[in-house]
Every structure is written in C-alpha cells, then in structure tokens.
Structure 1
Amino acid sequence: MPFADFTIWKYLASIVDIVLVWYVIYKLINVIKGTKAVQLLKGILVILLVRVVSDFLGLQTLSWMMEQVITYGFLAIIIIFQPELRRALEQLGRGRFFSRSSNPVDDNQEKAVEAIIKATDYMAKRRIGALISIERETGMSDYIETGIQLNSTISSELLINIFIPNTPLHDGAVIIQRNNVAAAACYLPLSESPFISKELGTRHRAALGISEVTDSITVVVSEETGNISLTKNGELHRDVNTEGLKELLTSELLINNKTKQTSSARWNWRGKNNG
C-alpha cells in the first residue's frame, strides 16, 4: 500500500505540475496580448520553424545560422520584451497576475463609431484640432501608458471636451481600446516618410506614424483648416467629409468585424457538430 500510495501521489503531483505550467503560460499570453510583443512572438515562432525545416532538409548553413540566433537570442528577448516583463512583474506585485481576465467582447462598437463621427464633425466645423486612434488587432498598450489613462465609456461629448484648446488633456492623442476611451494625451510615433506634404503638421505625422507600426485607424482634425483626415496601413486619406468618414469607419470597424465574427461562429458551430 505505501508503494501504491507513493505512485498515486507521484501521478497527482505530475498532473498538478502540468496544470500549473499551462496556467502560467496562459496568464503570460494574457499579459503580452494587446501589445507589440505579440508580433515579435510570431517572429520567434517563424525562426523556430525555419530551424526545424532546415534540419529536416539538411540545410547545414541555414541550420547553423538559426542555431546561433536561438543560442544568443535569449538576451535579445529580455531586451525586446522588457516592457512586457516589467508589466508582468508589476501585476504579480499587485496580485493581479492570477486574477481573472476581462472579456474582450463588446457589443457597443456601433455606438462608438457614431460617437467618433459626431465628435469629429463638431470639431471640424469649429477647427478644434484632434487626434483619435482606434486600436484593432495590434495592441497599443505601450502607447496608452504614455498618456493619462481614463478607461471611460466613449461619448461624443467626452471626446469634444478632451480636445477643447488649453485644457490639460487636449495636447496628444486619444486612444480607443475595446470601444472605451483608454487614455488621452498619448504620444504616438512620428512618421519619417519623406513623401509627407510639408504643409502637414505633427498630428498628421503622428497619425501616419502609428499606422505604419500598427493596424490602427486614426482620425485627424486639422486645427488650421478644420479638414478631416484618416490614416490606416501607412496610407493617409486627406480632406474626408463626414459621410466619407462614416463609410470608412463603418467598412473597417463594423463590416469587417462582423465578417470575422461570422466566420468564427461558423467554425465553432462546425467544431461542436464534429465533436
């Protein structure tokens, strides 16, 4: 019996060990989710895949190169993922690391788009400069941390009030995350493209810069002319009217998302039937 009890305990310890490891990995994924580290993680997976394929095909030089990258890449990973590691340690210290993660699903995207359009139209008519960036697949948590975090329900009144001149939050960008105003007065990277018109100011360069490093959609209102511009995928759409802005935001944020949700639902339905 003692031997049998020891064997059962050993199996139980192994199960607990596996469950804890998977739980820690799951929480780490939640920590880096919504940041640029997700894209870097994909790059690491590509390197590992190339290493396996090169070994399988007998590509010795490529295999040696990938081995060197993996061997000395550990220090590079620490440097690259420094913000995410810091965030994980901060959450661990606050006791939030093992808390339940929030549900990212939100049904208020249509209201958010309407609020952005209404606020943009109001500010454009009165030549109030504005910079509103909307997060999509690529996380913008690194840029949210540069501003004043609000975590407020989005409304046209709130957006207008933020960008009123000479108020504490008007200088910088507002970042919309999961249909909420995540932060205001945020710093966005400026585009270094030589093809940008000289007449465009810092807001337009920031809007184009964030679209070059993320898949976000950014709306700009010029303080000098009151013209509305929109950036996405490194492209600048200038002098967009209210109807054009509504069409672009509806197409990119509502129609595309509904298509993705429909595809996901079909996949889950098929999975359940097959199961």
Structure 2
Amino acid sequence: MSIGNFNLFDLLINAIDILLVTFVIYKLIMVIKGTKAVQLLKGIFVVLIVTLISDKFHLQTLNWMMEQVLIWGVVAFVIIFQPELRRALEQLGRGGFFSRSGHQEEDEQEKMVEAIVKATDYMAKRRIGALISVERETGLADYIETGIPLNANISSELLINIFIPNTPLHDGAVILQKNSVAAAACYLPLSESPFISKELGTRHRAALGISEVTDSLTVIVSEETGSISLTKNGELHRDLKLDKFRELIGAELLSGVKAKQTSSGRWNWRGKANG
C-alpha cells in the first residue's frame, strides 16, 4: 500500500522518528529547566532572530557579526552548558533520562514545604540559627559548589541536624534543589544595600544577597531572637508567625490550585519595615 511516493511503512517510520526527536528535545528541556541555561537559551533565540532580520534587510555588517557568533557558538555552547550536558549524560547512564517527570511534583513540593516548616518551627523555638535557600528557576549551581555536597532526601530531621551548633555543617547555608538537600555549608553573596538595618547579621545579609541575584526563596532563623524571616526578589519580611510563614512559603512553592488561590498579593511587603 502506497500514498504518492511513500508507502505506509515509510510514513510510520517517519512518524516514529518525529515523535522520538520531539521526546528527546522535551527531556533535554526538562534537564535544563531550573538552571541558568534557560536564560542562555533565550539569548541564543535572540541571536537567531537578529540574524534572520539582518539577512532579510541586507544589513551586511550586522549579519556578518551574527554569523560569526553562530559559527563559534558551537564551541561556546559546549563550554557554557557543560554542567547541564554532564547532568544529562549522568541521568542517561543511571537510566533516569527517560523516566517520567512532573506527575509527582506537587506531592514532593508539599513534603518539602512541610519539612521546612517543621524544621523552622523547631529551630526558632530553640534559637538555633539557620539559613535555607530553595532553588527555583535560576540555578544555584555556583553556590552549591562552595559547600559540602549531600544530595540527600529532604526531611525536617536532616535540616535540624545540619544546623545544630558546633557541628561541621552548621556554618553556612543549606541549598535545596529539585526536592533534595543539594549541599550544606554553602557561601551566599552578601547584600551591599545601604538600606539594610544595622541590627541584622550575616545570615540576613546573605539571604538578601542571594535574593537580589536569583529568584530563590530563602528562610532565615535568627540565632539571637529565634525570629523567622523570608526573602525573595530583594525583599525581606521579618518576624513571621509560624502560620503566616507556612502560608507564604506554601503559596510560593506549592503548585496547583492551592498555590494559585493563596499567592495573589502575598509579596507586597514594601509597606512593612524591611531590612
């Protein structure tokens, strides 16, 4: 049986080929999701669009520049995306590249929120200083590399144990990545804002600093007062009660209908005493 110049077998092979390529591209996108590679990909698309426009309107100098960028872009791509390519190969070797993803995300997020809230409540009552940063769209790989890698499942017990005073990992930040404890004792950039209250210590400045350069969500427990604070997008909200803290962090991290219902207007904190 044939249709034009193609028989049914050829059409089936072509359809399978297209589906496989689509699936591989989708899995690659899932690998780089949540890293700085997303922003870099946006830059590549901009270069491609500029190249097409310069070619159409015969902008020769600009077109030549864009062609050079694309020619050398292959080498730059390998260098820039080296961490993501390595992670993709590692997942392929572990057999995790083709595993299902996303279906359990909400349950995992709920468990993570519960672990953070429980650990924060325990440490706040006992005035155990803590700094926990949750990776979101912008990758935190650069800061994870400054700490001690753990790659452990998130639990309130683990978070509490890390921050117990005089233990090897208590000094520094814990970074949570993809529903796991990626690393502890990490160094975060300190905010240089002149508007930060002088009564705030290094933990609060570090939490503000990471929130100014990434979209991460960072929890601070004060060692002096036991107060709970939260930072996002360069904003600091201090002295949160546990119920308010649970509500805010849940609205930011939980997916689905619950997050959509509670997230509206939760971060309009400019009117309250910041920093």
Whether these two folds match at TM > 0.5 is: yes
Partner of 1:32: 32
- The 1:26–1:239 alpha-carbon spacing in structure 2 relative to 1, beyond 3 Å, is same
Cα deviation code 1:59-116 (max 9, x no counterpart): 4444343333222222222111111111122223333333444535314656654553
Indicate the residue corresponding to 2:70 in structure 1.
Answer: 70
Aligned match of 1:183: 182
Tell me the residue number matched to 2:103. Answer: 103
TM-aligned CA distance change 1:26 to 1:112, over 3 Å: closer
Contact 1:227–1:239 (Cα < 8 Å) also in 2: yes
Equivalent in the alignment of 1:265: none
Aligned to 1:149: 151
Once the two structures are TM-superposed, the CA of residue 140 in structure 1 deviates from its matched residue by: 4.4
CA contact (8 A) 1:36 1:138 kept: yes
Aligned to 1:266: none
CA drift of 1:6 comes to: 9.3
Q: How many residue pairs align between the two structures? A: 257
Where in structure 2 are the equivalents of 1:1-275 lying within 5 Å? 10-101=10-101, 103-107=103-107, 109=109, 112-113=112-113, 115-140=115-140, 146=147, 147-152=149-154, 154-155=155-156, 157-177=157-177, 180-185=179-184, 187-191=186-190, 193=192, 195=194, 200-242=200-242, 245-246=245-246, 248-253=248-253, 258=258, 260=260
Check conservation: 1:188, 1:210, Cα contact below 8 A.
no
Q: Of Structure 1 and Structure 2, which has the larger fraction of its residues in helix? A: 1
Q: Could you give the per-residue CA deviations for residues 175-205 of structure 1, whole angstroms, max 9, x where no partner exists?
A: 3456x44335152531363535666544334
Q: 8 Å contact 2:252–2:259 — kept in the other structure?
A: no
Contact 1:163 1:169 in 2 (8 A): yes
Note if contact 1:144-1:182 (Cα within 8 Å) is conserved in structure 2.
Answer: no
Q: Secondary structure at the match of 2:106?
A: coil
Q: Deviations over 1:131-179 (max 9, x none)?
A: 1123333354665575311123x44x4433332113344333333456x
Secondary structure, in 3 states, of the residue corresponding to 1:226? Answer: coil
Query: Per the alignment, in what secondary structure is the counterpart of residue 136 of structure 2?
Result: coil
Deviations 1:216-253 (A, max 9, x none): 21011232443433211123334545465345435534
Identify the range of structure 1 (194-203 vs 229-238) with the bigger mean alpha-carbon deviation: 194-203
2: CA distance between counterparts of 1:137 and 1:122? Answer: 29
Q: How much identity, in percent, do the aligned residues show?
A: 68
Could you list the per-position Cα deviations for residues 23-53 of structure 1 after superposition, in whole angstroms to 9, with x for gaps in the alignment? 3222222221232212221222222223333
Q: SS of the counterpart of 1:106?
A: helix
Aligned residues of 1:148 and 1:186 also touching (Cα < 8 A): no
Partner SS, residue 209 of structure 1: helix
Structure 1 gaps of 5+ residues are 263-275
TM-score (norm 2): 0.72
Are the aligned partners of 1:174 and 1:181 in contact in 2 as well (CA < 8 Å)? no
Q: Does the C-alpha gap of structure 1 residues 108 and 6 become closer, same or farther in structure 2, counting only changes over 3 Å?
A: closer
RMSD between aligned residues? 3.8
